[in-house]
Amino acid sequence: MSDTPPESPDFDAMTRDIAEVPAVEVIVTVAVNLMSAAAVKLGLSEEGEKYKDLDEARKLITGLAGLLDASATEISSFHAAPLRDGLKSLQLAFREASIVPDEPGQGPGEKYTGPVYG
pLDDT per residue, tens digit, the chain (118 aa), is: 556 566 777 888 878 788 899 999 999 999 999 999 999 999 999 988 999 999 999 999 999 999 999 999 999 999 999 999 999 999 999 999 999 989 999 999 999 999 998 7
Q: What is the pTM of this model?
A: 0.85
Q: Which long-range contacts (CB under 8 A, 24 or more apart) does 35-38 make?
A: 35/64, 35/83, 35/86, 35/87, 35/90, 38/64, 38/90
**36-43 long-range Cβ contacts below 8 angstroms, 24+ apart:** 38/64, 38/90, 39/90, 39/93, 42/90, 42/93, 42/94, 42/97, 43/97
